[in-house]
Amino acid sequence: MTEMVYGSAPVRVTEPVLPKWWRTIDKWSMTAVLVLFGIGLLLGLAASVPLAERNGLDPFFYVQRQAIFGGLGIATMIGVSMMPPGMVRRIAVLGFMGALLSLALLPFIGTDFGKGAVRWFSFGFASVQPSEFLKPCFIILTAWLMAAAQDLNGPPGRMISFGLAVTIVLLLAIQPDFGQAALVLFGWGVVYFVAGAPMTLILVILGLVGVASVFAYNTSEHFARRIDGFLSPEVDPRTQLGYATNAIQEGGFFGVGVGEGQVKWSLPDAHTDFIIAVAAEEYGLVLVLCIIALYATIVVRSLLRLMRERDPFIRLAGAGLACIFGVQAMINMGVAVRLLPAKGMTLPFVSYGGSSVIAAGITVGALLAMTRSRPQGEIGDIFARRGR
């Protein structure tokens, strides 16, 4: 009787979360991430054994830890990729505030683990590097600010995000961590460029970066030593770059054989910063090209899917996340082949490190959330309608 008088309420049919997620996710990119993680475990079986032996631990201690960290990273990636962009943005803002506060506290309660740069909080059983988590959160926050600045009477998002970028760069320079500082500034520049920054301003910013680099070279012994080592015409064979260069040359096209590589016994960071040297020596150029192709698949497919996106926040955030993910991989491999100065940057999902792999899971999870298929018209349809 009630339905006869007031009418029946329409029943909203909603698709279950998991089937909807599987239908809309970029499966090629997710598969590429899983393959990269598998390659990282494979390389860890060789690269981390010497370190475990030197520390008096079980031979596969670091591999087991990497499997645990990787499992957390993959679970985080899948969990974040299921979230709508609005929820990803809210979590990123909170994460940015926490990471920025942690970065400010590093000079007081952080540790350098004997590497000359205070980048970690040590908890005895594990350590955390705040800058790894800061990067994806900052990119998403920057995209939100710049997208809001495009609205009528919107906030000055460009200036606010630039002020935050400068603050982060200064905090990272104090550690010192110029590699992460450059990556943060690059990510901000990508988002600003996609948002429509004038080329004149981009050139001015590049000029300021050049001036800051000269200042850092003249005032930071840590920075100057790495630049001098990079510019030196000869490589000291007893340095990490020397060992890595020799290993890559020895590997050739097909490598010297599984477990036959020697660089892992000489490089203290063979399982982290120079993992690609282990891959090149034992498996050769073939595996290195496969790794490059996997990173390229994630970045290119993400950018192509973002080209169809109509929401400016999603376009900006996705482009920034894809670029910092790909550029971090390029920097790591570029250092190993001496195309770039040493940066102390990991290879996402392949290098050993809890902070690195979990932060990479957050980055790619947010990227997958931004690139999921949505019921919307193509962005080209908008321009077509405007031209009629």
pLDDT at residue 182 in the model:
87
Instruction: Round the average pLDDT of the chain to a whole number and report it.
Output: 84
CB of 364 closer than 8 Å to CB of 305 = no
Share above pLDDT 90 across residues of the chain, in percent, rounded to a whole number = 38
pLDDT at residue 6 in the model:
47
DSSP structure class, residue 9: P
DSSP structure class, residue 122: E
pLDDT over 60 (residue 358): yes
What are the φ/ψ torsions at residue 128 (nearest 5 degrees)? -130, 135
pLDDT at residue 2 in the model:
47
What are the φ/ψ torsions at residue 151 (nearest 5 degrees)? -75, 155
**Measured distance CA(304)–CA(308) in Å, rounded:** 7
pLDDT over 90 (residue 146): yes
Cα–chain center distance at 3: 55
**Measured distance CA(303)–CA(314) in Å, rounded:** 11
> Model confidence at 236, in pLDDT bands (50, 70, 90)?
low
Least confident of 151-165, 232-246, 265-279, 355-369: 232-246
CA nearest to 96, candidates 148, 138, 140, 142? 138
pLDDT over 60 (residue 19): yes
For helices 27-47 and 61-81, what crossing angle results, to 10°? 170
CB of 288 closer than 8 Å to CB of 316 = no
**Measured distance CA(139)–CA(88) in Å, rounded:** 12
Tokens for 215, please give them. 């200042």
**Measured distance CA(161)–CA(180) in Å, rounded:** 17
**What residue segments make up the domains of the chain, in order of their start?**
19-372
pLDDT tens string 25-83: 999 999 999 999 999 998 888 877 787 888 788 888 888 898 999 999 999 999 999 99
**Measured distance CA(331)–CA(171) in Å, rounded:** 21
Q: What is the pTM of this model?
A: 0.88
Matching residue, tokens 């900052």:
138
**Measured distance CA(316)–CA(226) in Å, rounded:** 33
Burial class (CB in 10 A: 0-12, 13-18, 19+), 183: buried
